[in-house]
A and B are shown apart, each in its own frame.
Chain A
């Protein structure tokens, strides 16, 4: 079985922005030690040193915007995009950094769930939670835990 890590990121205290954390907790509960997991606020350059050792990296995040679908699962290419000041990286930029520094390019996916409520609080909105549960099933499929 492929060695997989799921990285859920976002602000746990801003409701749906914490959907990545929720997904990681559910993956831990359902997959046990067969999948490694990380929860974090944002992606940083130092995580390239972590993901270089995995076959599959799955990023779980909230999405806010005009896209219609509530859940998007897409494979990621290692592509660097620069922003002026931000200290965090987008997942495709993190992959590009990993590729360039460590010559390792794990297979990567982004699982993003649309968020509806970003108010202060730790509960997901009903609709985001429903799709987060579906996202967990997709992640288990991607990592070969279930079909």
Chain B
């Protein structure tokens, strides 16, 4: 009779964010922490499964960016199976990846971050939401819905469904793109590009109007990491990992399969989420940031024309050196959205994308394999070790949000010290702490919505550890 493994506590399966703020006798903030109270156990319970099941198992880690796990996993399976996918399969996978990037970034900017930018950090929460945006700018809201839908439809066209698609397999993909489907995707392309550019103007206007905040809100030096093409251009699907330091100085350029040589993971006793760092500098000197800000900081250029023009403006912010302010993530995210949209067009214009040559066979099983993609939130690594029959012996996953763990907690600490008054905790203070976390678009959300809840709890303690005050934001607010 088989054994049944229970993972407890089940209420934490989708992740909770908890912020604790510790104040002294005068109510002044001494320290603040972002705690990720989640334990999923995917790495452990995948052991013993066949490696080729992973592209279907690992997307369950997340209901928001399952495509990233699906593709990262498939690339690891390519390596394990010793098979190079045909060019068409790589084009189709990248197309799905661009759909994921577009829908995720659009959702974040217009739905989650937009209310903070279009209203103010202190605005009444009753209007500081997506409905508030609809009411002040219905056209913008409608286009945002359609942009998100556009990305989702690409995923659905290729993978059969918008969330947890079934598409990539070891050595390729299992579905071709038809000419009709290609033309449908291409139909409203120019309109979507114009809308993204409109979003970029909104972000830039907000920055101009709030420059003092942008220059002081969670601004600190770190390293930065992201995939780049051979010529140093921004890359989201293939390429090498580039690590740079706070001044832009090169740290490393390496193949993702060598990540263990360069990336270590530190553990703190107040969070389940590990803290990755650059091994040669140790922790915390070697902490770095990923995601849109990290990627644009490491890139030399962008390969598509419109996004590259905007990228030049981004690079001018700090005269070519890395941009440090956490709020710049929003601007970087939109530039990437523009790139992803332009890249969709490039991919669809490639005649090979309609080919039926979508899967290769016959490789020699390897003992391990690493897959890497740039998920919307940053570099995602899947690493599998297998026995001679292909059964998984060890699984290591470093997720995008994990890379940013130190930076998110640092942002919370900085913002709490800057804005929180320990004698009078207000909603506006809570929102500023949220804004700092939200800039990174952390993926702590739920794939099991009935169980998963995503509250943020802000707790304030005195120096003896006594709870002084608490604000809980949940879906009822």
A residues apposed to B, CB below 8 Å:
9-11, 13-14, 17, 39-42, 44-46, 48-49, 61-64, 80-88, 90, 96-97, 100-102, 115, 118
Nearest B residue to A63 by beta-carbon distance?
A: B450
On chain A, the residues within 8 Å of B135 by CB distance are 100
Q: Which listed residue (A17, A83, A90, A100) contacts B134, Cβ 8 A?
A: A100
Q: Are A83 and B475 in contact (CB under 8 A)?
A: yes
Q: Are A85 and B138 in contact (CB under 8 A)?
A: no
On chain A, the residues within 8 Å of B144 by CB distance are 45
Nearest A residue to B45 by beta-carbon distance?
A: A120
On chain A, the residues within 8 Å of B434 by CB distance are 84
What is the distance, in angstroms, from B114's C-beta to the closest C-beta of chain A? 11
B71 at the interface (CB under 8 A from A): no
On chain B, the residues within 8 Å of A14 by CB distance are 448, 450-451
Nearest A residue to B108 by beta-carbon distance?
A: A87
Q: Are A97 and B134 in contact (CB under 8 A)?
A: yes
Nearest B residue to A41 by beta-carbon distance?
A: B163
Q: Which of B138, B449, B473 has the most CB of A within 10 A?
A: B449
Q: Are B454 and A41 in contact (CB under 8 A)?
A: no
Q: Are B442 and A85 in contact (CB under 8 A)?
A: yes
Q: B154-181 interface mask toward A, CB cutoff 8 Å, 1 = contact, 0 = none?
A: 0000000111100000000000000000
B130 at the interface (CB under 8 A from A): yes
- Given A45-B130, A97-B131, the answer on whether A86 and B138 have CB atoms closer than 8 Å is no
B474 at the interface (CB under 8 A from A): yes
What is the distance, in angstroms, from B436's C-beta to the closest C-beta of chain A? 12
What is the distance, in angstroms, from B34's C-beta to the closest C-beta of chain A? 12
Q: Which listed residue (A11, A13, A49) contacts B146, Cβ 8 A?
A: A49
Nearest A residue to B142 by beta-carbon distance?
A: A101
Q: Which listed residue (B107, B146, B477) contacts A82, Cβ 8 A?
A: B477
On chain B, the residues within 8 Å of A97 by CB distance are 130-131, 134, 145
- Given A46-B145, A82-B129, the answer on whether A40 and B451 have CB atoms closer than 8 Å is no
Q: Are A88 and B134 in contact (CB under 8 A)?
A: no
Q: Are B448 and A101 in contact (CB under 8 A)?
A: no
- Given A41-B163, A101-B134, the answer on whether A85 and B438 have CB atoms closer than 8 Å is yes
**Distance in angstroms between the alpha carbons of A46 and B445 in the assembled complex:** 18
On chain A, the residues within 8 Å of B454 by CB distance are 83-86
Q: Are A42 and B129 in contact (CB under 8 A)?
A: no
B90 at the interface (CB under 8 A from A): no
Q: B140-151 interface mask toward A, CB cutoff 8 Å, 1 = contact, 0 = none?
A: 011011101100
- Given A85-B444, A97-B130, the answer on whether A40 and B163 have CB atoms closer than 8 Å is yes
Q: Are A90 and B129 in contact (CB under 8 A)?
A: no
On chain A, the residues within 8 Å of B3 by CB distance are none
Q: Which listed residue (B146, B148, B451, B456) contacts A85, Cβ 8 A?
A: B456
- Given A13-B60, A97-B134, the answer on whether A64 and B145 have CB atoms closer than 8 Å is no
Q: Are A118 and B475 in contact (CB under 8 A)?
A: no
B63 at the interface (CB under 8 A from A): yes
**Distance in angstroms between the alpha carbons of A42 and B475 in the assembled complex:** 15
B21 at the interface (CB under 8 A from A): no
On chain A, the residues within 8 Å of B10 by CB distance are 118
**Distance in angstroms between the alpha carbons of A94 and B129 in the assembled complex:** 13
What is the distance, in angstroms, from A24's C-beta to the closest C-beta of chain B? 13
Q: Are A87 and B451 in contact (CB under 8 A)?
A: no
Q: Are A46 and B152 in contact (CB under 8 A)?
A: yes
Q: Are B148 and A11 in contact (CB under 8 A)?
A: no
What is the distance, in angstroms, from B104's C-beta to the closest C-beta of chain A? 8
On chain A, the residues within 8 Å of B146 by CB distance are 46, 49
**Distance in angstroms between the alpha carbons of A8 and B141 in the assembled complex:** 25
On chain B, the residues within 8 Å of A11 by CB distance are 60, 63, 447-450
